[in-house]
Amino acid sequence: MFRIESEDGNARTGKLKLAHGTIKTPFFMPVATKAVAKFIDSGDFKQSKTQCIISNSLILHLTAGSDAIKKLGGIHKFMNWGKGIFTDSGGFQMYSEQMLIETKAHGVLFKHPKNGKKFFCSPEGSMDIQQKIGSDVAMCLDDMPKFGAKKERILDSMKKTYEWAKRCKAHHEKINRKKQLLFGICQGGLYPELRKKSAEMISSIGFDGLAFGGLALGEPISKMFSAVKVGMGSMPKEKPKYLMGVGFPSQIIEAVSMGVDCFDSTYPTMTARHNYLLTMNGVVEIDKNRYAEDGNPVEKECDCYICRNFSRAYIHHVSKTKEPAGYRLRTLHNLMFMARLMERIRTAIKENELNKLKKELIKIK
């Protein structure tokens, strides 16, 4: 299911085999919360060389409905996407004041952000929903404390996350009819001893992959990487590792060099909406007047739809005038950038040149 093919220090490149295709690792997943990303559909993902996306099972359940998606043949058919799909459990929605009512011992009480209807999500319920949706990789329901929570709360979340993880695993084994993989999530905040303990506990359950939750929430980067490092030390090497919520290119390279294989973030799509275009030479703020008459493509070396078809001047024009088509065009470029970045990282690992690449890409955020 996961095969490491080359190593460069702790970094590794290989293949993760899913029910829908095989993914080259390390890889980055754009966020398509509702089986669609902002301005971007499955055809757009395809042309941006995306290998795998992540949707949100809780939000999908509350909008399209997991029963409807199952009836329509599962999420891949629903959104017409033949490649990899992870689903998040909804743990992250505990971060939403609009949605969280209360974390209980046996699950989470949410309210529907639109109609206010209450909805209780148990570990078993989350597994059922993700199985109906039919993603390639389901994520455990974890208990995610708020950023800056006290140690006591972190300890509590760590324990709850472990209990829920065991229940997720047991229930998933019973219901899994679709070669769906299940990843466990460790918590433990920024406390090295708690992060270590949580990583050990979650690793002991025997998941197909292991994720870091509760990070990339605005904490100092050095603290995030300390937590990743101590966690990695307690996880079996042969499992794929997923650092949730990380999307800055510099942080991706750093995490890859520590052995992380998988990432997701709204960074490339969100930053595109703010007129930032990611390039190997740094960010291009395309709405700045200096691009108004620039006939060059955004990035000469890029093969994305916008770099093949439009000048900086045109992208400047549709950006400056806030045309909705511009939002899509910028997003297409940034998605392709992430695909190109990950490809370069995989090649560098194969060639034992990850450190060299890290220095070369120092100008990238």
| Helix, strand, coil percent values for the chain (each to nearest 5) | 45, 20, 35
Tokens of 240: 């794929």
Tell me if 270 contacts a second copy by CB under 8 A.
no
Of 360, 314, 346, residue with least CA distance to 333: 314
Which positions from 22 through 41 interact with a second copy, judged by CB under 8 A? 34-41
Q: How far is the CB of 43 from a second copy (least distance, A)?
A: 7
State how far Cα 220 lies from the chain centre. 20
Give the residue, chosen from 117, 325, 352, 363, that forms a contact with a second copy under the rule CB under 8 A. Answer: 325
Alpha helix locations (H) across 19-150?
42-47, 57-62, 66-71, 75-79, 123-133
The amino acid present at 300, given as its one-letter code, is K
67 labelled catalytic: no
Tell me if 314 contacts a second copy by CB under 8 A.
yes
Residue 50 in contact with residue 59, Cβ under 8 Å? no
Stretch that binds a second copy, among 133-141, 173-181, 208-216, 304-312 (CB under 8 A): 304-312
Q: What SS3 class is residue 133?
A: helix
Tell me if 96 contacts a second copy by CB under 8 A.
no
CA quadruple 293, 271, 341, 318: dihedral sign = negative
Stretch that binds a second copy, among 57-65, 92-100, 144-152, 157-165 (CB under 8 A): 57-65
Residue 134 in contact with residue 81, Cβ under 8 Å? no
Which member of 8, 136, 264, 287 is catalytic?
A: 264
Q: How far is the CB of 82 from a second copy (least distance, A)?
A: 11
DSSP character for 26?
S
Tell me if 293 contacts a second copy by CB under 8 A.
yes
Which helix (H) or strand (E) is 264 found in, with range? strand 262-265
Q: How far is the CB of 149 from a second copy (least distance, A)?
A: 31
88 labelled catalytic: yes
Tell me if 323 contacts a second copy by CB under 8 A.
yes
Tell me if 266 contacts a second copy by CB under 8 A.
no
**Please, which residue, 226 or 311, has the CB nearer to a second copy?**
311
Q: What SS3 class is residue 301?
A: coil
Tell me if 320 contacts a second copy by CB under 8 A.
yes
Tell me if 329 contacts a second copy by CB under 8 A.
yes
Residues of this chain that interact with a second copy (CB under 8 A) are: 34-44, 63-65, 68, 71-73, 78-80, 292-293, 295, 305, 309-311, 313-314, 317-318, 320-321, 323-329
Active-site residue list: 88, 264
